[in-house]
Structures are given as structure tokens and as C-alpha cells.
């Protein structure tokens, strides 16, 4: 299936397949998915993948997940340019 290779979290390179397998194995909440797979823990702090992680966590929802707090969104303290991260200045 093509969706299995789709990368959901670009920062940590976590795939859709990995998230779905983790959800199926452990019946994870969004927070647990984040902790088990590191999705949403990269440079962007989950700004690009948080919504998808929340949706995967709600897929085949269970009573356990209805009482969980949503995945925390924490933007960086201040934006950092790729030049600063890479150390190459022109």
C-alpha cells in the first residue's frame, strides 16, 4: 500500500505505517504515539504532523482515548533559520 511509505513526521522520519502499527499494537493515545515513535518531537515541535497524529490516534477509538489530553503543541521559543542550523553562511 502506498500510504504505508508516506512520511508523517518529516523531522523524525516516522511513517504512516509505523504510526498505524504502534496504534494497533498498544492502542495508543496521541501522546503515547508521540512518545513511542518520536513523531512530533523534531525541530518543528509537531507543527506539521500534530493533526495527522491526532487523527491516527482517534482511528478505531477506544474509551481509553476519549479521556486523554490532546497532543501538546509547543512551538520553538524563537524561529531558527536553516543557515543557523547548518552553520553555512554566505
For 21-32, the pLDDT digits (tens) are 999 999 888 889
Give the tens place of pLDDT for each residue, 26-77: 988 888 999 999 999 988 888 889 999 989 888 765 555 455 555 555 666 6
In the chain the beta strands, taken as DSSP E runs, fall at 7-9, 14-15
The full set of domains in the chain, from first to last, is 2-65 (1.10.10.1100)
Distance of CA 51 to the CA centre of its chain: 8
C-alpha cell at 1: 500500500
Q: Are 67 and 29 in contact (CB under 8 A)?
A: no
- pTM of the predicted model, to two decimals? 0.66
Amino acid at each position: 500500500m502506498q500510504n504505508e511509505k508516506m512520511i508523517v513526521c518529516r523531522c523524525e522520519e516516522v511513517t504512516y505505517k509505523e504510526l498505524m502499527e504502534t496504534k494497533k499494537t498498544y492502542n495508543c493515545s496521541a501522546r503515547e504515539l508521540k512518545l513511542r515513535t518520536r513523531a512530533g518531537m523534531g525541530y518543528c515541535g509537531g507543527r506539521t504532523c500534530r493533526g495527522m497524529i491526532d487523527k491516527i490516534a482517534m482511528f478505531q477509538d477506544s474509551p481509553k482515548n476519549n479521556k486523554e489530553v490532546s497532543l501538546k503543541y509547543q512551538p520553538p521559543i524563537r524561529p531558527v533559520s536553516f543557515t543557523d542550523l547548518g552553520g553555512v553562511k554566505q
